[in-house]
Structure formats: structure tokens, C-alpha cells
Amino acid sequence: MDYATPHPIDHLALMGHPDAPALVLRGEVLSYAMLDERVAGLAGWLAARCEEGERVASWAAKGELTCLLPLAAARAGLVHVPINPLLKRAQVAYILADSGARLLLGTKARLATLENADIPENCEVIAEVDAIAQSRACPQRPGASDRDPETLAAILYTSGSTGKPKGVMLSHANMWLGAVSVAQYLKLADDDVTLAVLPLSFDYGQNQLLSTWYAGGRVIPLDYLLPRDVSKACARHRVTTLAAVPPLWWQLVAIEWSDEARGALRRLTNSGGALTTELVTNLRRIFPHVDLYPMYGLTEAFRSTYLDPALVDAHPTSMGRAIPFAEILVVDEQGGPVPAEQEGELVHCGPLVAQGYWQDPVRTAERFRPAPAHSKYGGTAVWSGDRVIRGKDGLLYFVGRRDAMIKSAGNRISPQEIEDAAVATGLVADAVALGAADERLGQAVVLFVRSAPGIRPDEDALAKALASELPNFMQPRTIFWREELPLNPNGKIDRAALAKEIDA
């Protein structure tokens, strides 16, 4: 098999030795043979309930169901829609409706928070324990599928700058080549052990599974409560690969690491926010013999760049260079090449580029556009909106974003979604959400509000109302009440003036 040629992603269940461990669950270890058997059973169960091409959503913590679904849905000819387990019912209801989900599988406690109106009329809701039990008794769908790798395999929802989340459409080819690419540049092998601490609803989190299975290694899914849970798991399972985002790294460098916990580690990988020089120094102090891989990615193109570990000490703030199968261009306003050491927009070209936004041709046309004329790949490219500089040595450096998106703790957050939730409380007439620089989070959410007529400012009431409607990572760190919000010459709220206040 030519592994650089895309294949349906359920082939990943067959990549390791049949007797080698593939997935370590609570109280059970699945070999690759058992992994393929469980995928076949779940795929048979899904195929009996859904028509090919329909969407199956999952809303659950890490476990057997969420780990198997990316492969099982693919083998059944369905489209997987993983939902961030931190989201609240309003966001889940939107994703179910927007994706047209035919089936929702989730933990009973989460499903119990949904109201009848949150569930589309033709969407069946089944608890994950029941789905697993029923799939064990269902006729299997064995054997890797042979469908076209360009077929839609998953829809990953990410926040949009205009409010509602947008569903990024990923093909089998996108996900397969993403797994191959990461396995290659991380030098993953069949004796590697990956501790999967990131949410599987993120492309970065899901790739923990796919790239490790491509290499024939084993995955240990972990939903941690405390940073020490991570170090304990590293010691217990002899973990070689640990991926995290900057806020988690700050927590991990603040605890004591035993020789047993760090002894087997080979590599640490970071995305979802830039590493600072101080954080790199701390990681080097605790893990002096471990390779550190800073990375930059876009859900719309999976992953774009990584920095070779040998260059981290000399260039700790660099984004690095393009990953395998990616072409990264820095262009001017006309799409032409920008000389070294001059700022331009990052454009990602090549086969990792997603298929656009689900049922959203307008926003797809804004972000997914023809590649610049000097691209070696051509076709459709992702115009990121991110401003970068390429040094004379070819290394890339992040400058800033052109849009208003807030990036906090690895999460892309829509300001409008927070603003709409604030106004919907009835306590405020206007709201502006901005990102304030934060060493550990990347950005922290700051909210400016103007009271609704006849309503006295009540920060506690507003914070409580937002906590019931928005996930924790969207909660404002600070709320500023204003009698009036500044306006620009066009009569609109002057976001730039407010941003200067928090930057001062």
C-alpha cells in the first residue's frame, strides 16, 4: 500500500500488528485486531440505523465510543460530527440543526440537559452506554471500506467571527494525509504511546488518535481533572508522546515530575497558541532530553507548520516551516509573493485543505479561494487572515490576526457569540467582547457592556446568566460597565478604541 496515497480512514484500524495494543481504555486494552472488530461492530450498528452520507453526532467524554466513531462512522459511510463536551445545550442544539444530524450519541448526563426543542425532529438520541451494548450484538461490517477518499468523512465545528459556529468539512483524504504528515515529522513508531488529553472534537485532538494508529502505536485517552493526573498517567503508561496547549503547559511546569513520569517521554507537541520564551525555558528545565515541537494550525487546513526541535532554543517564537503535504505562502493584498522579512497573509495550499464550510457557500467563498498564481499545488487554498513574516532563513513568525476572533486556551472564540448571549440576558443593551493579551491563555475574554434601559449594572447577575449559556472557555475574565460605548464616525461601536483601553 502506498500510504502517501489517501485511503478511507477506517484503514487505520488495520495499521498495527494484530496483537499489538492500540487503545487503552479503563479496565480494558484493545489490540489492533480487537480495535478493528469493535469498529466493524459499531459500523454495522450505525449502518442499520442511518442512510449513507447522513451525519452522526457525538457529545461525550473520551472513551470507547468517541475513540471508535471516527473510524466506525467512516466504515458505515456516514459523516461524523464530534461535539466539544464542554459546550452547553444552546451550542449543541445549533450544531445538531445545522448539520442535520440523524443520530446523536452522548453521555446520559449531557443528553439530559437538552430540551425537546433542541433536538431536530428526525434526530434519534441514544446514550453511549446503550449504543456500545447494542453494537456488540449487531452484525459487523468487517473489512476496510473502499470508498473514494474525497468523500466527506467529518464535520468539525469551529467558532466563526460573525457569530454562529461553522462546520469545516473534512474528507477521508484530508484526515488520512493529516495522520501521515504528523506521524512523519514527529517520527512516530509502533512502540510509541500517546497520552490523548486534548478534546477529540478538535482536529488537533482527533489527530492524536489517527497519527498514532497510522504509526501502529497505542493511545491512552485521558480526561484529566488536575495537572498531576497527567504526570501520573505518563508514569503509569510509560507515555512517549504528549500534546497540549499553552495553558496546560503552564499548569504542567508548575508541578513536580518524577523520573518515572518523564523517563519514557520522547516528544512534547504544542498548538492552539504560541509558546513564550519563558515557557520554553521551563519545559527545557523539566524535560531536557525531550524533543519539543511547536506547531501552528487551522481547522480549515488541519495543520500548517511545525518547528524542528533542533531550532527551538534559537528560535523559540517561530512557527517553523510547512508540514509534509502543505504549501505555505506569504502574500500581499493582490496575492503576490512577499519578500523575506516583510509582513503578509498566510495562505495554505495543498491536499490538506478542507472542502469548505457545511451548507455555507458565502463564508466558504470568503476563506476558501483559488490558490495564488505562484502556488505549486494550485486549486483551492485557505486564506487564513493571519499576518506572518518569513525570515531569510525560511522560518515563519506570527504577527497577528486580521479578523476579530479571540483565541484563548487553544479555543477559537467568536466575539459575536458572547455579545449575543450578553444582550439576550436582558441586562445589557450593547456588548463588545475582545481578547486581552494573557501570557498563559494567549488571550483572555474581556467584555464591555452598556446597561439596558431601566436596568442597574449587576455584574454578578450577568456573570451568572452567561455561565448558564456559554461554556467555561467563553466566560469573560473581566466585565466593564459603561454608561455609553464609544462610536466611530459611522455611528457604530468603536471596537478599536475599546481595544486600546485594554492594551494600555
Do the domain assignments include residue 449? Answer: yes
Instruction: Round to whole Å and give the CA distance between 296 and 282.
Output: 20
Do the domain assignments include residue 172? Answer: yes
Q: Count H helices, E strands: the chain?
A: 15, 25
Do the domain assignments include residue 400? Answer: no
What confidence tier does 2 reach under pLDDT thresholds 50, 70, 90? low
| Domain stops at, among 181, 197, 221 | 181
Do the domain assignments include residue 150? Answer: yes
CATH number for the domain harbouring residue 448: 3.30.300.30
Count Cβ atoms within 10 A of the Cβ of residue 361 and give its class: 0-12 exposed, 13-18 middle, 19 or more buried: exposed
Contacts of 268 (CB under 8 A, 6+ apart): 242, 243, 244, 283, 287, 290, 291, 292, 293
Percent of all residues in the chain with a pLDDT value above 70, rounded to a whole number: 97
Instruction: Round to whole Å and give the CA distance between 137 and 143.
Output: 18
Instruction: Note the pTM of the prediction, 2 decimals.
Output: 0.86
What confidence tier does 226 reach under pLDDT thresholds 50, 70, 90? very high
- The answer to whether 275 touches 243, Cβ cutoff 8 Å, is no
Do the domain assignments include residue 130? Answer: yes
CATH number for the domain harbouring residue 7: 3.40.50.980
SS3 state of residue 265: coil
Nearest Cα to Cα of residue 131 among 209, 42, 70 = 42
- The answer to whether 269 touches 198, Cβ cutoff 8 Å, is no
Tell me the per-residue pLDDT of 437-460, one tens digit each, with 9 for 90 and over. 888 888 899 999 988 777 888 888
What distance lies between CA 365 and its chain's CA centroid?
A: 22
Structurally, how many domains does the chain consist of? 2
What confidence tier does 402 reach under pLDDT thresholds 50, 70, 90? low
| Domain stops at, among 181, 203, 220 | 181
Tell me the per-residue pLDDT of 121-178, one tens digit each, with 9 for 90 and over. 999 999 999 999 999 988 888 888 889 999 999 999 987 655 678 999 999 999 999 9
Do the domain assignments include residue 229? Answer: no
What confidence tier does 399 reach under pLDDT thresholds 50, 70, 90? confident
The total of other beta-carbon atoms located within 10 Å of residue 374's CB is 12
Instruction: Round to whole Å and give the CA distance between 64 and 34.
Output: 12
* Strands in 40-137 per DSSP E: 55-59, 79-82, 101-106, 124-127
Tell me the per-residue pLDDT of 258-276, one tens digit each, with 9 for 90 and over. 999 999 999 999 987 778 8
Instruction: Round to whole Å and give the CA distance between 285 and 197.
Output: 22
β-sheet bridge partners, residue 31: 21
* Half-sphere exposure for 40 (CA within 13 Å, toward CB): 15
Nearest Cα to Cα of residue 50 among 105, 112, 127 = 105
Q: Residue 499 belongs to what domain range?
A: 406-503
Q: What pLDDT was estimated at residue 227?
A: 93
List C-alpha distances in Å: 27 to 63, 68, 222, 307.
11, 17, 13, 37
Do the domain assignments include residue 86? Answer: yes
Do the domain assignments include residue 314? Answer: no
The residue assigned the cell 452598556 is 450
Percent of all residues in the chain with a pLDDT value above 90, rounded to a whole number: 72
Tell me the per-residue pLDDT of 301-352, one tens digit each, with 9 for 90 and over. 989 999 999 999 999 889 999 999 999 999 999 999 999 999 999 999 999 9
